[in-house]
């Protein structure tokens, strides 16, 4: 429809990323193993930088705050609804075909439910969640750290992913508007 626009969209990157195969770490007492993968780090920072420029922001220096492997199995069949703190972007890379589902929650879902009619056709305007399922090896998902999400294991074989948090290097903001930090 002419004139219909999406205003205040939420940036979400979903695409395939070809990387060299990474050996899964040994998970000792936890289903999380912290391990930085330089090739993935470089690509993620490049993609986020390109996203920022595409959205009209300055090419802000970025830093990887953390990177870790996840294992979903009987010991950790799900990851509760959560956000990521002390970063601006978070995401997940799949080093193998996934046997788990990630659900991303629309932060405006409560407003959509309380003010709009029943959904007939799913669109970017009316979805409360996005189910990232049937994820294949090499898939990369990046989203704002304030976007709630959770993970559910499908059962059967253990499933793995690599998650990361990215923040802005200082300085950030604009002294002219009083929101500057260094």
- pLDDT, one tens digit per residue, over 22-66 is 889 999 899 999 999 999 999 999 999 999 999 999 888 999 999
Q: Are 91 and 141 contacting, i.e. CB atoms less than 8 angstroms apart?
A: yes
Calpha distance 47→59 (Å, rounded): 11
Closest CA to 134 of 105, 99, 94: 99
pTM, whole model, 2 decimals?
Answer: 0.90
Six-digit token pair at 75? 């010991």
pLDDT at 126 (0 to 100): 84
SS3 category, 51? helix
Q: If you count DSSP H runs as helices and E runs as strands, how many of each does the chain have, helices first? A: 2, 10
**Look-up of token digits 């929101």:** 179
Q: What is the pLDDT of residues 75-89, one digit of tens each?
A: 999 999 999 999 999
Q: What is the DSSP letter of 96?
A: S
Q: Are 101 and 70 contacting, i.e. CB atoms less than 8 angstroms apart?
A: no
Q: What is the DSSP letter of 41?
A: H
| pLDDT at residue 178 is higher than 80 | no
Six-digit token pair at 135? 């994820």
């Amino acid at each position: 429809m002419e004139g219909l626009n999406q205003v205040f969209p939420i940036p979400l990157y979903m695409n395939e990323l070809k990387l060299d195969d990474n050996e899964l770490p040994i998970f000792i007492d936890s289903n999380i193993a912290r391990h930085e993968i330089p090739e993935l780090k470089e690509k993620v920072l490049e993609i986020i930088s390109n996203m920022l420029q595409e959205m009209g922001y300055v090419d802000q220096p970025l830093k990887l705050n953390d990177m870790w492997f996840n294992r979903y199995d009987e010991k950790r069949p799900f990851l509760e609804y959560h956000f990521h703190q002390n970063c601006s972007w978070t995401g997940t890379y799949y080093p193998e075909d996934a046997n788990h589902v990630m659900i991303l929650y629309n932060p405006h879902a409560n407003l959509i439910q309380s003010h709009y009619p029943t959904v007939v056709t799913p669109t970017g305007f009316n979805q409360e969640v996005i189910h990232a399922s049937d994820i294949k090896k090499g898939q990369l998902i990046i989203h704002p750290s304030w976007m709630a999400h959770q993970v559910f294991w499908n059962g059967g074989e253990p499933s793995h992913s690599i998650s990361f948090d990215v923040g802005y290097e200082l300085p950030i903001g604009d002294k002219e508007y009083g929101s500057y930090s260094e």
